[in-house]
Structure 1
Amino acid sequence: MNHTETAHRTEATAQRPSLLRFALHGLEMVIAMIVGMVVLDPVWAFAWPGLHENTVAQALVMATDMSIGMAVWMRVRGHGLPAIAEMSAAMYLSFLVLLPFLWAGVLSGMAFMTAGHVLMVPAMLIAMLRRRHEYGW
């Protein structure tokens, strides 16, 4: 195999969609969400001292922090606004779907927060699968 064939094969392999690339992209977004929470939490603590006493407000603020971090990273990665909006919706929907259970007393505040974060994973996966070509798969 000559140099041209090797270069072409390497380029084709680099451009080929892969499950690994898809998974790594998802991991990058989770890291960006964590960064968003860590960076923005002190801002909220200063601006809204009683925030942590209101579970619903805390969850929505946390979803906002995660959405901001993730949206910034998605823009850096070249994603369009529709994909960013869908992924941000996944952050909020995972909590919103659980609100009736919190209000009915079926879930404690801690269980609500935990379940909301757990539900984000499949919600994000659904958003990513809808646009899998954008995520490298």
Structure 2
Amino acid sequence: MIIAMFVGMFALGMLQSALGLGLSHDRQPELAYLVMAFDMSVGMAAWMRIRGHGWAPTLEMCAVMFLPVVPLFPLLWLGTIDGGVLMVVAHVAMFPLMLVAMLRRLDEYAGCAH
């Protein structure tokens, strides 16, 4: 799933750059993060659907890409953190949140009953 996220992020990122839509993480960290989360979500959702996952777990996993910034954006706006810290903390937080989503639907991801 992580490889699919990277594929989505890099493929859509290259397309956005080719179209002149590249965003600066320094000047527009909020928008840059949201676009990157969307790009990762597209790759991940496509792979999950190919692998036969239902819509609910797919959308939950996509939500996890956006969830870490909820508490971080206000810290960014207050000047407590910068765009680089936002990116690092949000990306690190994604993985435990993905695990929580998988444990919530263990039968979906492990093929076993609770």
- Summarize deviations over 1:60-95 as a string: whole Å, max 9, x none: 000000000000010011000000110000000112
**Number of residue pairs the alignment of both structures matches:** 109
Amino acid at match of 1:38: F
- Please list every run of 5 or more consecutive structure 1 residues that lacks an aligned counterpart in the other structure: 1-28
Counterpart residue number, 2:10: 38
Higher radius of gyration, 1 or 2: 1
Structure 1 pair 104/48, CA: closer, same or farther in 2 (3 Å)? farther
Task: Report deviation, 1:113.
Answer: 0.5
Runs of 4+ aligned residues of structure 1 deviating over 3 Å after TM superposition are: 46-50
- Paired residue for 2:85, among 84, 106, 111? 111
Name which of 61, 73, 98 aligns with 2:35: 61
Within a 5 Å distance, the mapping from 1:1-137 to structure 2 comes to 29-49=1-21, 51-52=23-24, 53-136=27-110
Give 1 or 2: higher helix fraction: 1
> Structure 1 length as normaliser, TM-score?
0.75
What TM-score does the superposition give when structure 2 sets the normalisation length?
Answer: 0.89
Decide whether aligned partners of structure 1 residues 41 and 67 sit closer, same or farther in structure 2, where only a CA change above 3 A counts: same
Pairwise CA RMSD: 1.3
Q: 1:123 Cα shift?
A: 1.1
What SS is found at the alignment partner of 2:99? helix
Residue 15 of structure 2 aligns with an amino acid whose one-letter code is: V
Quote the residue 1:10 is aligned against: none
Sequence identity (%): 48
Q: Which runs of 5+ in 2 are unaligned?
A: none
Instruction: Check conservation: 2:16, 2:22, Cα contact below 8 A.
Output: no
Distance in 2, Cα, partners of 1:31 & 1:127: 18
Distance in 2 between the 1:30 and 1:134 partners?
A: 17
Higher-RCO chain (CA-CA 8 Å, sequence separation at least 6): 1
